[in-house]
């Protein structure tokens, strides 16, 4: 057990004691370390002004760089990781980093408030060798807002930085920094001591093993489970709530895995959207659009898939997708497990079938058979970084042109994410070459009476859902029943970060 938080900041080891565990990384950087290059804009993960880069090891033990929003990360969540802020990018000879130089040369800044955030997002892309095409850069910058410059110059700056050919001394410096980070992260992985912070008002525990997690949940059944903090961070920064006791799931290795059998993929509770999106792209091709449009790069690097289910939000994006897939949850209560169909998990608005002290350990997704496909559509006002007004996901099994089985999950249509049972019955046996039957439209209206709110009116939601069904039938009929054609209006799915191995560092690559 250890009570001080340890991490690497700009290459220097830090040990932080006696701090409230809900101190955000942003406040600590700006108010304690006086590193004011990292800016505060919205304080809720939306604008990217606070972007810093965190280096971590992936499940294969390879180095990976993640752009994250410092405003909604709590300091103890950084334990064992390596953080880089904009202050550390300048080279030892005073030269700017290639992404900084490219922004200056390409006139990518005016007032400059957003600039450190853009620099850091591009830096993560540069380190992950992802920033070499326009589409990837748009994805990398999906969580950064600029009010004055215009994105063209910033995207061009990213492309120009990717073309930069490092000098021998730059290359040497990059290799040596990566080696320091790598070795630190490996040492931190090997340190199995549980972080345990207890102040007079708050407590934070970061167990490393499932057994430690089980005993914590037995001892503190009323503790708040914390995963990526992309919801909980806002409870603190926007609602000024005080969480008395956190149990952080992000350091339990057993929860960070994605495993496969012949018939199922199992996603652990600490798997982030970025990890799931990269690992499951070929298993569930039809979910690519939803994952690509989930929040922003920063939100996907921090937020977990399980957190998106656990919060029970009626407008959460993954729940309708997983309802359509027929997912099951593994729930764990002080070490005792039970399986529950996701469908049965959502009881009513804000109420899920989860006991106090019980957590989602994993999500089990049936793999697609040869005649099965999944299709998902997100309707929101913006392409990136927006919550859905309506999300429809469809799992379909075909027998030639006929729909032999179908499950349809909706978000934004009811008080919880929900299946469209009546609609499913009508569409079973439907010929996909034929138009949507009137009976399906009536069934949809019986299944759902959506509310009107600031995102959409009730009538709009019903109409858009009806139109999505038509769109889905057209796509399915052109699809030979197996895989979804990626719609031509959407760019291809972005590349995944290229992880760095110790062998690559030692070989000077």
Ligand X SMILES: Cc1cc2nc3c(=O)[nH]c(=O)nc-3n(C[C@H](O)[C@H](O)[C@H](O)COP(=O)(O)OP(=O)(O)OC[C@H]3O[C@@H](n4cnc5c(N)ncnc54)[C@H](O)[C@@H]3O)c2cc1C
Binding site for ligand X (CB under 6 A): 44-46, 224-232, 249, 269, 294-295, 299, 302-304, 306-308, 310-311, 316-317, 359-360, 385, 387
Q: Please list, residue by residue across 301-328, b when 16 or more beta carbons sit within 10 angstroms of its beta carbon and e when fewer do.
A: bbbbbbbbbbebbbbbbbbbbbbbbbbb
Q: How many CB atoms lie within 10 A of CB 95?
A: 13
- Show the binding pattern over residues 51-80: x = contacts ligand FES (CB under 6 A), - = does not: ------------------x-x---------
Chosen from ligand FES, ligand X, none, partner binding at 113 (C-beta under 5 to 8 Å by type): ligand FES
SS (H, E, C) 67-127: EEEHHHCEHHHHCCCEEECHHHCCCCCCCCCHHHHHHHHCCCCCCCCCHHHHHHHHHHHHH
- Which phi-psi region, left, alpha or beta, contains residue 464 (left: φ > 0; alpha: ψ -120 to 50)? alpha
Q: How many CB atoms lie within 10 A of CB 27?
A: 18
Q: In angstroms, what is the minimal distance from the CB of 404 to ligand X?
A: 30
Quote the tokens at residue 327. 């997912």
Chosen from ligand FES, ligand X, none, partner binding at 155 (C-beta under 5 to 8 Å by type): none
Contact between 383 and ligand FES (CB under 6 A)?
A: no
Contact between 233 and ligand FES (CB under 6 A)?
A: no
Which C-beta is closer to ligand X: that of 179 or that of 235? 235
Contact between 36 and ligand FES (CB under 6 A)?
A: no
Contact 280, 265 (CB under 8 A): yes
Contact between 41 and ligand FES (CB under 6 A)?
A: yes
Rounded CA gap, 186 and 195, in Å? 17
Site for ligand FES in 110-139 (CB under 6 A): 110-115
Which C-beta is closer to ligand X: that of 46 or that of 447? 46
Q: In angstroms, what is the minimal distance from the CB of 441 to ligand X?
A: 27
Chosen from ligand FES, ligand X, none, partner binding at 308 (C-beta under 5 to 8 Å by type): ligand X
Q: How far is CA 385 from the centre of its chain?
A: 11
Which C-beta is closer to ligand FES: that of 114 or that of 323? 114
Q: According to CB under 6 A, which one of 136, 149, 230, 313 is a site residue for ligand FES?
A: 149
Q: What secondary structure does DSSP assign to 320-331, as a single string?
A: HHHHHHT-EEEE
Q: According to CB under 6 A, which one of 6, 19, 27, 43 is a site residue for ligand FES?
A: 43
Which C-beta is closer to ligand X: that of 273 or that of 397? 273
Q: In what order do the strands lie in the sheet with 372-379?
A: 372-379, 390-399, 402-411, 418-419
- Binding-site ranges for ligand FES (CB under 6 A): 40-43, 45-50, 69, 71, 109-115, 146-149
């Amino acid at each position: 057990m250890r009570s001080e938080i340890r991490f690497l900041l700009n290459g220097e080891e830090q040990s932080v004691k006696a701090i409230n565990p809900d101190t955000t990384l942003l406040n600590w950087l700006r108010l304690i370390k006086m590193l004011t290059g990292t800016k505060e804009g919205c304080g809720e993960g939306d604008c990217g002004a606070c972007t810093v880069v965190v280096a971590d090891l992936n499940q294969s033990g390879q180095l990976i760089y993640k752009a994250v929003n410092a405003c909604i990360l709590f300091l103890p969540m950084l334990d064992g990781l390596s953080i880089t802020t904009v202050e550390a990018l300048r080279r030892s000879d005073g030269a700017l980093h290639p992404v900084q130089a490219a922004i200056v040369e390409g006139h990518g800044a005016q007032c400059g408030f957003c600039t450190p955030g853009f620099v850091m997002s591009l830096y993560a892309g540069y380190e992950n060798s992802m920033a070499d095409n326009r589409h990837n850069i748009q994805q990398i910058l999906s969580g950064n807002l600029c009010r004055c410059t215009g994105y063209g110059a910033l995207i061009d700056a990213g492309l120009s930085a990717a073309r930069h050919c490092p000098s021998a001394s730059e290359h040497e410096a990059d290799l040596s920094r990566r080696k320091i980070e790598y070795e630190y992260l490996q040492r931190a992985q090997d340190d199995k001591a549980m972080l345990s912070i207890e102040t007079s008002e708050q407590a934070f525990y970061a167990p490393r093993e499932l057994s430690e997690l089980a005993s914590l949940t037995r001892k503190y059944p009323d503790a708040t489970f914390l995963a990526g903090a992309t919801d909980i961070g806002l409870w603190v920064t926007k609602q000024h709530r005080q969480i008395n006791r956190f149990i952080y799931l992000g350091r339990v290795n057993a929860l960070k895995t994605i495993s496969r059998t012949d018939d199922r993929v199992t996603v652990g509770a600490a798997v982030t959207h970025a990890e799931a999106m990269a690992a499951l792209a070929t298993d569930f091709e039809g979910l690519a659009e939803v994952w690509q449009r989930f929040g922003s790069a920063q939100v996907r690097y921090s937020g977990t898939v399980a957190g998106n289910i656990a919060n029970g939000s009626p407008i959460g994006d993954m729940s309708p997708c997983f309802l359509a897939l027929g997912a099951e949850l593994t729930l764990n209560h002080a070490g005792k497990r039970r399986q529950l169909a996701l469908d049965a998990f959502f009881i009513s608005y804000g109420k899920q079938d989860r006991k106090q002290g019980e957590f989602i350990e994993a999500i089990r997704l049936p793999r697609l058979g040869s005649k099965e496909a999944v299709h998902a559509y997100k309707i929101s006002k913006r392409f990136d970084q927006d919550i859905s007004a309506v999300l429809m996901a469809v799992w379909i099994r075909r027998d030639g042109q006929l729909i032999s089985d179908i499950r349809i999950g909706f978000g934004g249509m009811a008080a919880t994410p929900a299946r469209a049972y009546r609609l499913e019955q009508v569409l079973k046996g439907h010929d996909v070459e034929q138009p949507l039957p009137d009976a399906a439209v009536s069934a949809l209206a019986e299944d759902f009476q959506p509310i009107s709110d600031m995102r959409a009116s009730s009538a709009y939601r019903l109409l858009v859902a009806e139109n999505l069904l038509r769109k889905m039938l057209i796509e399915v009929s052109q699809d030979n029943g197996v895989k979804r054609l990626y719609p031509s209006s959407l760019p291809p799915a972005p590349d995944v970060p290229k992880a760095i191995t110790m062998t690559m560092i030692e070989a000077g690559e």
